[in-house]
Amino acid sequence: MANEMTSNSPPTGESSHGRPLSKVVALLVGEPRAPELWTLKKLAAASALHVVRAQDGTSVSAAERLQTLRRKHGVSGLASRLIAKKLVVERQERRQLQRLDQLLDGEHLREWWQSSGITPVHVPHLNHADARSAIESLQPDIMVRVSGGILKRETFSLAQHSTLNIHHGQAPHIRGMWSIPWGIVEGRPEWIGATVHVIDDGIDTGRVLWRGTPQLAPGDTGDELFFRAHLEAVDALVRVILDYPQGTAPTALQTGAQGPSVYRSAPGLRPSLRYLRLGRGRRAPFILERAVKC
Amino acid sequence: MAGRIKKGGLIVNEHTLTASQTRDHVNVLSRWFDFIHHDDLRDRLTRPTARPFCLLTFDDGKRSNASETVPELERLGVPAVFYVTTRFLTDGAPLWFDRYAALTQTLGRTPAGLEAETVKQLPFAVLNQRLDEACGKHGVTPDTTNDDIRPMSWDDARELARRGFTIGAHSLKHAILTHEPEAAALSDIAQSIAEVTSELGTQCTTFAFPNGNYTARLTQHAITCGVHTVMTTEPMWADARFPLWRLPRVELMPGSNPSRITLKLALAATGGLLANPDGTGRLYRKINRLPSSRCSASPPSRTSR
């Protein structure tokens, strides 16, 4: 049951480009952090924005998730991931969020969020019946998954045009989570970047509408690459949203013959430690080589 | 003495110097080095002499380069390269770091979103937007009557070229080019080189990266735009190991006394003790151990002076 069904009164009418504004519903989980706030602020400037916010990312319990992971990775693989999460990944994530908060000027973004007049509709999780009924009542042209877990078809099919996502990695080359660090750990520059894609039943498998990569240069870390990829991806997302009311649904990129598509989930202990040894990218040989090789 | 220890020489990276600072720097450097013109750089790299060379370079294109530094250099008979930020010369708007310095001086602190460790990581549009907002909010404007802040004019640049100094390109607006989308960075390099060429009426022959940050793709692009040399800020001596598209420079500070300059030159000679002011620290030590054979674009043949 949604506990707050009131929504904001977003801007209506035309964008600064003289085009009619799309009604966009942004889906997020928990308190938005700097990267999510950056996305919301840009969306609010380019659309009639509503927000549906969930407390939890998923309806699956922690025990069920552990069962699934054990089946997928075995006991040792699961143990490795749990240890890595406790010892390395959580610290890295905290550090990355602090860094992104600085880079994205989280202080001003939070001030904007407080004064934006956007009142999120609260739901238990994004695939919950309350979330669906909230979205149905808003009748969005487009939905954007700003944060949160995997959306089910019953949820992502509620947008008139499509539901979009920013994946911080180059889909479909690399799908799943931690994609930029995976690219650093495995020496795969073609994985580093971001993708704007339509959400479908798979994970990061939907039609790719935009894909980009920041320049890789000596001194870059995963945090800075995420930051620059995010800025470019949000700008691309806004362009896609501005194009919809023109009746020009953006053309999907041809992603067929571009090598294998790899899925990676959370890292175990070995890749987490390797990421640290590589200075989170700063000492990654393939990034340093950008100084001397074209 | 230095020649017995090291082959090659030094490319010195300066920004603004008063006449007396110019004299002091030249006095210290002339003890060990022959000052050379940019056009002689390739020969001195490939055919080292007993006495090492020194090429003086000045970044940004501030008015004081023309009003203070050049008369002193001419008096001393020292050639130099002036890397100009081309739109800065055209529109006169203060460079972003001068606005930043004015802001932090006025406030006595760095505003949120513009912390020292953040400011050089931001893409140029984001950086400018934050500076506009912060300067607007606090009513801060840099002192554009100060010759260390305002630009020289294109007439000044043409006059310097006429008097034998080299004018190089230093980007359009001093964006840190590795933090921009690649297409924007490539376009910035091409346009700034084209603007120097067009304003001076002769091909621009050298480019220096703003803040020193570079990639091989960007340097190669500068070469394809017609320049013969590309400068970074790796704080090392230059010798034949370095390709012309990636030449190191040692930054000297205006207020440094002779012993401090001497110490810095000695540290630069070790090839790994100084930190690169571009923010990458000592990563250049690892970079310079990498083979660079895959970037083999050779510069066009040199035009005569």
Query: What is the rounded average pLDDT of the residues B281-290?
Result: 94
Residue B19 lies in a domain: yes
Query: What is the rounded average pLDDT of the residues A188-216?
Result: 96
B69 neighbors B19 (Cβ within 8 angstroms) = yes
- Domain check: are B39 and B57 in the same one? yes
- Domain check: are B72 and B185 in the same one? yes
The reply to whether A71 touches chain B by the CB within 8 Å rule is: no
Show residues of chain B in contact with A289, CB under 8 Å: 290
Residue B79 lies in a domain: yes
- Domain check: are B114 and B212 in the same one? no
CATH of the domain at B28: 3.20.20.370
Q: Taking Cα atoms as reference points, which of A127, A289, A123 lies closest to residue A201? A: A127
- Domain check: are B120 and B51 in the same one? no
- Domain check: are B220 and B166 in the same one? yes
Per-residue model confidence as pLDDT tens digits over B107-131:
999 999 999 999 999 999 999 999 9
Per-residue model confidence as pLDDT tens digits over B130-141:
999 999 999 999
Q: Which domain range does residue B237 map to?
A: 2-93+152-287
Q: Identify the residue among A37, A95, A112, A215 best suited for mutation to test binding to B, counting B beta carbons within 10 A and taking the highest.
A: A215
The reply to whether A224 touches chain B by the CB within 8 Å rule is: yes
Q: Do B181 and A103 touch (CB under 8 A)?
A: no
B171 neighbors B206 (Cβ within 8 angstroms) = no
- Domain check: are B189 and B126 in the same one? no
Residue B186 lies in a domain: yes
Q: For position B264, what pLDDT does the model report? A: 96
- Domain check: are B138 and B193 in the same one? no
- Domain check: are B187 and B268 in the same one? yes
Query: What is the rounded average pLDDT of the residues A128-138?
Result: 96
Q: How many whole angstroms separate alpha carbon B253 and alpha carbon A153? A: 62
Per-residue model confidence as pLDDT tens digits over B17-49:
999 999 999 999 999 999 999 999 999 999 989
> What's the number of domains chain B is made of?
2
Q: Is the peptide bond before A172 cis (omega within 30 degrees of 0)?
A: yes
Q: How many whole angstroms separate alpha carbon A113 and alpha carbon A177? A: 27
- Domain check: are B135 and B163 in the same one? no
- Domain check: are B111 and B126 in the same one? yes
If one counts every other C-beta atom within 10 angstroms of the C-beta of residue B95, the result is 21
Residue identified by tokens 């949604």 is A2
- Domain check: are B89 and B99 in the same one? no
Q: Identify the residue among B130, B214, B246, B283 best suited for mutation to test binding to A, counting A beta carbons within 10 A and taking the highest.
A: B283
ipTM of the complex: 0.91
Show residues of chain B in contact with A103, CB under 8 Å: 118, 121-122
- Domain check: are B6 and B131 in the same one? no
Q: For position A257, what pLDDT does the model report? A: 56
Measured in angstroms, the CA of B71 and the nearest CA of chain A are apart by: 37
The amino acid at A113: W
A198 neighbors A209 (Cβ within 8 angstroms) = yes
Domains of chain A with CATH codes: 23-291 (3.40.50.12230)
